[in-house]
Amino acid sequence: MSLQEQQNLLAKLYTDAEFRRAFLSMPEKIGIENELNKIEIKEIAGIMPEELDFFADSLFWKRLREVEKFLPLTRKVLGEDFINYFRRFSQNFNPQTVKKHIEDALGFCRFLQAQEVSEFAKNAAKFEEAKAKFFGLEKRFIICKLDFDIREISFSTAETRIDNPKNKTKIAIWIRIGNGFRHFFI
């Protein structure tokens, strides 16, 4: 197995709790299914379960904190549910590029938009996904259609937003001009 394949397998062990449990209970079977040789199986199985769990938990919290930096509005809207949704998301998503934190944030935004969350959470995720693409991926132009003026989230609580009837479709636009940029709503 190549070094890259070993790293991918370890990443899966650290991020996927179900896979980790399966490997720890049946290292030979899971190792062979994942094309490990006997020496590799023995080396990985030699890692103490507590060490694996500790490292996996540390990795989860590090990823979460980095994603929270990109998605403060989404974090605010979801409150403590943000952690639960991110835990579900991170079990099945491993960033592959060198921009792992931005890839995590973008993937999490797409994940949230497919979940049963409030329209406010979906719109916050959509807005912050567009913003992260613009800044993190250095796009020249991004347009994002929203169901309401996302700026209302910044100044109110979730309870008052839910009953707010004056929400209207808005479009957020980011555009690079030379070394600067402009951001506006229409």
pLDDT digits (tens, 9 = 90+) for 70-122: 999 999 999 999 999 999 999 889 888 889 999 999 999 999 999 999 999 99
**Does one domain contain both 36 and 52?**
no
**Does one domain contain both 99 and 56?**
yes
CA distance 95 to 175: 27
What are φ and ψ of residue 116, in 5° steps?
A: -85, 75
Cβ neighbours of 114 (radius 10 Å)? 9
**Does one domain contain both 33 and 88?**
no
Domain span including residue 106: 48-185
**CA angle at 129 for the pair 150 and 180, rounded to the nearest 5°:** 85
Contact status, residue 161 vs residue 175, Cβ threshold 8 Å = no
**Does one domain contain both 91 and 180?**
yes
**Does one domain contain both 132 and 40?**
no
Number of domain units in the chain:
2
**Does one domain contain both 89 and 162?**
yes
**Does one domain contain both 4 and 69?**
no
Helix (H) or strand (E) holding 127: helix 119-136
Cβ neighbours of 108 (radius 10 Å)? 27
Q: Is the pTM of this model over 0.85?
A: no
**Does one domain contain both 132 and 151?**
yes
**Does one domain contain both 9 and 52?**
no
- What was the pLDDT predicted at 163? 45
